[in-house]
Amino acid sequence: MSSKLEVGNRQLVPVKEITRLVSSVFQKVGCDTDIAEFVANHLVESNLKGVESHGVMRMIQYVEQLESGYMIASGRPSLSQNEKGSWIVNGHGGFGMPALQLGMEKGIEVAKENGISIVAVVHCGHTGRLGAFAEKGAEAGCLTIWVGGGGHKDWPQVTPHGGAKGMLPTNPFAFGIPGGKRGPVVLDFSTARIAGGWIYAAKSAGVLLPEGVVVDANAEPTRNPDDYFNGGAILPMAGAKGYGLALLAELIGAAMLGPVTTEMNWLCVCIDTALYSDGQKYQEVAEEILQELRSCPPVSGVEKVEIPGEREREFQSQNLKKGVAIPEQTWNQMMNLANRLKVQF
């Protein structure tokens, strides 16, 4: 999927203005100020990094979920250990971003003390852009692995390989590891051919989906996002490979960490890279490897070979001063919601 939706007109909104709008909307529907601001900043950062599927257009969906009771506006994450000493974050039905943040902080702390840590996160809503948390772990010097799954009963979005209807969620994985001079290497991907958020974004913006990612209710290929919402499904990433990864995530989330009470369950594994390599030596070797890959000649039509995570940071640096460019149709929907809630920003 390209880094942004191919749409015509866009509304360019300054970063402070769009952040204030999103935060104010969440506060209006019952969220505490600190939670609203944290989620708003997360969504805006996703847009700045070019990941529109997990950006500010999610405000509309989140308000629907808060007003319906699917998510709990007052939900705040808490941290505890079970009888076996394992760390668990309970999101108490609220936003998933603060819950994953709390889990990431504990994961880093324990990994720095013991070399390795494992933290589970349960009972929370949508977690936003998973790579943001893997990147935080990598910035702290840890190989960080996040996986989410377990919501197949409520979110049968993706077909199994060879299947004709949705049976699994988009069960994402994210990996972060310290990189070279330009920062961490970050992989963040859905196990489906397209993240569900891109379909919401395409519908909101009134544009078509890419070829070959979604089928309709009759398992026929389609580009119309409405066909997905009317009984269609997403195809698995890389066929059997994506299906296999999704299945592993589902077993981790539902069989190992279950029961799932809101969206899905999460597991974070953190390993301090200092267990095996001195920090300076690590960066030197990493930079050598990454620079070799950057120097690879690109094929026709490709500007350059890139390192996962670097493009997003470049986008963010470029967009901070420009602002967030929101598809006109999506912006109108956001403003209609703000007006309905009588939000002043």
Q: For 12-31, write each residue's pLDDT tens digit.
A: 999 999 999 999 999 999 99
> Whole domain around residue 127: which residue ranges?
10-292+302-340
CA distance 250 to 268: 15
Residue with tokens 């026709």: 300
Q: Confirm whether 216 is domain-assigned.
A: yes
State the pLDDT confidence band at 2, using cuts at 50, 70 and 90: very low
Q: Confirm whether 23 is domain-assigned.
A: yes
Structure tokens at 285: 């070797």
CATH of the domain at 167: 3.30.1370.60
In the chain, helix, strand, coil percent, each to 5?
Answer: 45, 20, 40
Predicted TM-score (pTM) of the model is 0.93
| 320 has pLDDT over 70 | yes
- Beta-strand (E) ranges in 137-296? 142-149, 173-180, 183-189, 214-215, 221-222, 233-234, 265-272
Mean pLDDT in the chain? Answer: 95
Q: For 245-260, write each residue's pLDDT tens digit.
A: 999 999 999 999 989 9
State the pLDDT confidence band at 200, using cuts at 50, 70 and 90: confident
State the pLDDT confidence band at 79, using cuts at 50, 70 and 90: very high
Say if residues 97 and 38 touch (Cβ distance below 8 Å). yes
Q: Confirm whether 5 is domain-assigned.
A: no
Residue 226 has a CB neighbour count (10 Å cut-off) of 12
State the pLDDT confidence band at 344, using cuts at 50, 70 and 90: confident
Q: Confirm whether 22 is domain-assigned.
A: yes
CA distance 125 to 76: 11
Average pLDDT over residues 197-204: 87
CA distance 177 to 90: 26
**So what's the pLDDT on residue 201?**
84
Q: Confirm whether 65 is domain-assigned.
A: yes
**So what's the pLDDT on residue 235?**
98
Domain count, the chain: 1
Q: Confirm whether 15 is domain-assigned.
A: yes
